[in-house]
Structures are given as structure tokens and as C-alpha cells.
Amino acid sequence: MGEWIFAGGTVVRSTGVEIADIRVSGDTISAVGPHLPAEGADVIDCRGRWVFPGLVDPHTHMGIPIKQVRSRDDFASGSRAALQGGVTTLIDFTVWEARQSLEESIRQRQAEAASSLADVSLHANITRLESGLADAIETAFGLGVVSFKVFTTYREAGMMLEYPQIREVAEILAVRGGVLQVHAEDDRLIQEATAPLVAAGSASPRDHGRSRPVAAEVEAIRRLGTLHDVTGCPVYIVHLSSAAGWEAAREENLLMETCPQYLLLDERSYEAPDGHMFVASPPLRSPEERDRLWEGIKDGSIAAVGTDHCPFCRRDKPAGLPFQDIPNG
């Protein structure tokens, strides 16, 4: 195992930012400080460069099935791209297929993740309730999975749980000490917004945003806030997309994650010739919603930024598809 000195970089630590050297012995950081002795080490000049700890992406989807195609990064290619961007740990999701037990879905995903060049952990999707769920969750803990994701929408895909079912999961996790992750968009409000668009023949990417209004995110978050109060289970809202959702989640004392697309892009992207390429759920919001989300980053109430990485090739998302048929990602 080698010895390296990363010399003179602007080092970001939990205690602040400083100009320092970092000595790495094998795969371990052995010292951080100014002007470390370089005897026996290869020296890498980092002056003028930022040096961060390896980043954690808490939300990825490698090689999952969506609308008759699969997201195009597997764990090997996706982790290689992640490492090039400084991300050294990925947290991906299981896919709980109809024929599987929850344990089998975790073990299958762990086997798929063995090709990763980065560290990998998993969240487990819970897309149905079965007898013995508490025991299955206990087994998942033994496999290293402590966070479990549910959906308040995607009824047509067989992924949605009703709110009373979500409460059952939350009650189990509250006792066991797990975290409930939620894709928070209220399905009833989505269907009410989508039906007239489909009836009118509206099919543009902009209609995707209209079909999943901010109100759907807020409604789901408010109901999850009540669930959190009643059960005591920690609730983590994934891919928060709106300032109104942020305000609701903050008032309900829920954990929050947002994504780069909601911080950097807005609904005007749907008006571009390749607007269909920007279709994802939740959709991109107004510039005003985007700009206000940054307040949650600045004050720390948004606890994490994850990519929701779920890539497709252009041929997977051809122009002209009705918005409801475009693979999201």
C-alpha cells in the first residue's frame, strides 16, 4: 500500500475550511495539517484546488425498469461516473418484484451492486403489505437496510400504498428504529389534474408539470406530517421539488431531500425543442419555487441533496410521446 501527500489544498472539514496537507497511508487518511513531512510519500500538488471528503449520493436508481425500458446506468457504469464527480458512496433502491420476498429483493440488489466501484448501501422499496412484514423488516435490518421507501402515487404501476397502509409501515419502523422514506405526491390530486389534460388531447412536456401540481406534493406532506405525529416514526421526504412543499415539511418537522434539477432548472425547460428529455417526477417547477428552495439549503432544513439518478438514452425518450408515456428520469 502506498503513501501520498495531497499538499496545500483548500480542505473542507466538519470544523471549517483550511489550507492543509492530507497524508494518505494505503486507504486511510493518517494525518491532516499544515506542512506535513513528505518523506516516503508521493506528493500531489493541490494548491488552488478544493479538497472534499468523498460525497454521498443518497438517491440513485441503477438499471431499474420504467415504462418498458431500463435506466441505462448499471452499478459499474454509474459508479464510475460518480467517482469522476467525487461521489464515493451511492445509496440505491431495491425493486420488490411480485414473485419475491422483501429479503429476496434486497439480496438480488446487493448482488447487482457487487459490480460497483464505489461503496453502495440500499434503501428498500415497500410497494405492498404482506403478512409478516414486521419480521421481514427485521430481516432487512440484519442485511444492513434501515430505511424503507413508500409511494403515495403510481397506483397504475402497482407501487402505491394508501395512507392507512403507510401508517402500518410507519408503526413497525417506529418500534424498530427505522426511517420511512416517501415519494410524496398525492395520487388523487394527480389524477384530478391529469384527467382533463388527457381528455383534451394535451400531450406536451409542459402538460406533465400541470398534471402533477405543487398542491399534490403539499397535500401528501401534510398527511405524512400527521402520520409522523401519531406514530413517532422519522419521515424523510425524497426529491422535494417545491418551496411550498419545503415550507410544509419544515412545519411538520419532517426530514427533507431535494435534487440538483429542482435547484438549477425550472419549468421553462419543457418549452425547449428537447423539453421531453426533462420529464421526471416530481416535475420541474416555476423559477420562483426553484429560487426559494435554496433557502432550505442555506438554513439547513433540507438535510440532503441527492441526484435521483435515473438516466436514459435519447432513443428511450423519443419526441412526440404523450407526457404520461415518457420514461421519467
Nine cell digits for residue 262: 429542482
pLDDT digits (tens, 9 = 90+) for 218-266: 999 999 999 999 999 999 999 999 999 999 999 999 999 999 999 999 9
> Residue 32's pLDDT is what?
96
- What's the rounded Cα separation, in Å, for the pair 5 and 36? 8
Which helix (H) or strand (E) segment holds residue 235: the answer is strand 235-240
Amino acid at 206: R
> Residue 67's pLDDT is what?
80
> Residue 14's pLDDT is what?
87
Domain ranges of the chain: 3-51, 55-325
Confidence of residue 1 (pLDDT cuts 50, 70, 90): confident
Rounded mean pLDDT, 181-186: 99
Which is higher by pLDDT, 316 or 241? 241
Confidence of residue 66 (pLDDT cuts 50, 70, 90): confident
**Site of grid cell 439480496:** 107
**Three-class SS state of 313:** coil
CA 296 to chain centre: 17
- What's the rounded Cα separation, in Å, for the pair 137 and 159? 18
Confidence of residue 149 (pLDDT cuts 50, 70, 90): very high
Residues 6+ positions from 91 with CB-CB distance below 8 Å: 56, 57, 58, 59, 60, 120, 121, 122, 123, 306
Q: What's the mean pLDDT when you consider all of the chain? A: 97
> Residue 321's pLDDT is what?
92
Rounded mean pLDDT, 90-97: 98
Confidence of residue 106 (pLDDT cuts 50, 70, 90): very high
**Site of grid cell 400531450:** 203
In the chain, what is the straight-line distance between the N-terminal and C-terminal CA atoms, in Å?
40
> Residue 203's pLDDT is what?
86
Rounded mean pLDDT, 304-319: 94
In this structure, CATH architecture of domain 55-325: Alpha-Beta Barrel (3.20)
Rounded mean pLDDT, 211-219: 99
Contact predicate 193/182, CB 8 Å? no
78 pLDDT exceeds 80?
yes
In the CATH scheme, what is the homologous superfamily, with its name and number, of domain 3-51? Urease, subunit C, domain 1 (2.30.40.10)
Name the nearest CA neighbour of 121 among 101, 96, 140: 140
> Residue 276's pLDDT is what?
95
pTM of the model: 0.94
Name the nearest CA neighbour of 154 among 173, 182, 196: 182
